[in-house]
Chains A and B, each alone.
Chain A
Amino acid sequence: MNETALLYNFLAVGGVLFSLGLVGFLVRRNMIVMFLCAEMMLQGVSISLVGFGRYHNDWGGQMLVVFIITVAACEAGLAMALILMLAQRAGKLDSTTWQDLREEGLPAYVDHEVPEESAADQAWPHLTPAGIEPPIDRDALAHRSRV
C-alpha cells in the first residue's frame, strides 16, 4: 500500500471530522450535544495522530491517543456532573439560560421565531393493544414513552 497516500487520506478524514465537530459545537445549543461535538474534535485529532504514527513507524502517535482517551474520559465524567448540576438548576439543558455569562456590551440572544414541529415529526409509533387492559398505574404514567 502506498504509505504516503494512506497518510494523506487519514489526515483528510481527521481534518474533516475535526471541522464537523467544530461546526456542531458552534451551532448547537444543547449542552450535551455541544460536548459530544467536542469529543468528535478529539476523535479527529486521534485519527491524524494514528496516521502519523503509522507513517513514521513510531509508537508515539498511538501513545498520545491513549492519553487522549484517558483525558476525554476524565473530562466526560466532570462535564456530566457539572451539566447535571446546571440542568437541575435551570430545568433544561439549554445553554441560552446561562447567557448572562456573556461579555459586557453584547446584546442578549432572543429567540425570534421557533419553527413549528411538522405533523410527521409528532406522529409517534402506536402499537395496537393486545389482551385485557391492565389497571392504571400512576408510576407507569410518569414514565417517558418516547425519547
Chain B
Amino acid sequence: MNPLLLAAADKAAGLTARDVFACPTFWALVCGVLGLWFVLPARFRFGNAIGSVLLAIAGGLFAFDLPLLGPRLDQGVFWLLAGVTLAASVCTISSRSPVYCAIWFALSLLGTAGLYLFQGAQFLGVATIVVYAGAIVVTFLFVIMLAQPEGHTMYDRISWGWFPKVFGVVAAGTLVGILTFMLGGLKDASTRPVSADAVAAADQRLQADAGILSDHHMANLGRHLFAEHLVSVEVAGTLLLAALVGAIAIAAYGKQASGGRQPPEGFAARIEEALR
C-alpha cells in the first residue's frame, strides 16, 4: 500500500486537538472558509472588504506552512504565480458580472500558464494561453454577449441560498484540509536534508546537453504522445470531430425549432424598452 497513506493513517491515530489547533494550515482553512463565505454573492455592505482581509490572512498562513523550495528567487516567483492564480480564482467565483468572471478566469489561466512554465512544461504553458485563454474564454464572452444583454442581473447578485453557500465553503475547506493532512508525509520528506551529491547530480543532469536529443527537451512530449499513446490521440481527434458536428447540429436544430429568426419574447421586450 502507499507509504504516504500508511504514514497519514498512523498520524491520524495519534492526533490530538492540540496538534490540530497548533497547525497554521488549520487556522488558514478556517479563515479561508469564513472569508469565502463573506466574499461570495449575496453579500452585505462590507462583505467584500472583510472577506478579502480574511482571505489574505488565510493565504499568508497557508503559505507559511508550505515547505520552502530552496533558492529565494524561485520561492518568490512561485509565490507570485500561485498568489495571482488563487486571487484571480477567488475573484472569478465572487464577481457579480459574468464578463468580469470570465476576465478574472483569464488572469487565473495566465497564472496557471506561468506555473507550467515554472515547472518546465513549456508546451503546456503556451497551449493553455492559446487554447484556454485565447479560444475558450473568448467563446464564453461571445455567449455572454448573445445571451445576457444587461450587466448586473438579479441572479448574479444572489446565490442559491444560505445552505449551498455555507456547506459549499465548508466542504471546500474540508477537502483542502484532508489533502494537506494526507500529504503530511511528503512535507516531512521534503524537510529532510538532501545530500550535496544528489543536488549536484540533478543540476548536472538538467544542464547537460539541452539540445533536441536530450531527455528533457519538449519534443519528447510529442514523441511520447504519438509513439506510446497513438490510439488515445486518434480517439481525441474523433472526439473533437464529434463535438464540432454536435455543436453545429445543436445550433441548427435550435434555430429550426424556434421557427426561424424570431427572437424570443424576453429579448424583444428588452430591445423595445431600450429603444423607448
Contact = CB atoms under 8 A, between A and B. Distances in A.
| A-B complex is real | yes
B186 to A, nearest CB: 5
10 contacts: A2-B70, A3-B202, A11-B179, A26-B164, A30-B153, A30-B155, A32-B148, A67-B232, A72-B136, A89-B264
Contacts of B109: 43
B221 A40 contact: no
Contacts of A71: 236, 239
Interface size classification for chain B: 35 or more
A109 B163 CA distance: 12
Interface in B144-171: 144, 146-161, 164-165, 168-169, 171
Interface residues of A, number: 87
Interface of B: 36, 40-42, 44-45, 62, 66-71, 74, 78, 82, 85-86, 89-90, 92-93, 97-102, 105, 108-109, 112, 115-116, 119-121, 123-124, 127-128, 131-132, 135-136, 139-140, 142-144, 146-161, 164-165, 168-169, 171-173, 175-176, 179-180, 183, 186-187, 189-191, 194, 202, 220-221, 224-225, 229, 232, 236, 239-240, 242-244, 246-247, 250-251, 254, 258, 264-267, 271, 274-275
A74 B221 contact: no
Nearest to A57: B215
Contact of B160 (A39, A109, A146): A109
A30 B100 CA distance: 13
Contact of A12 (B139, B152, B179, B229): B179
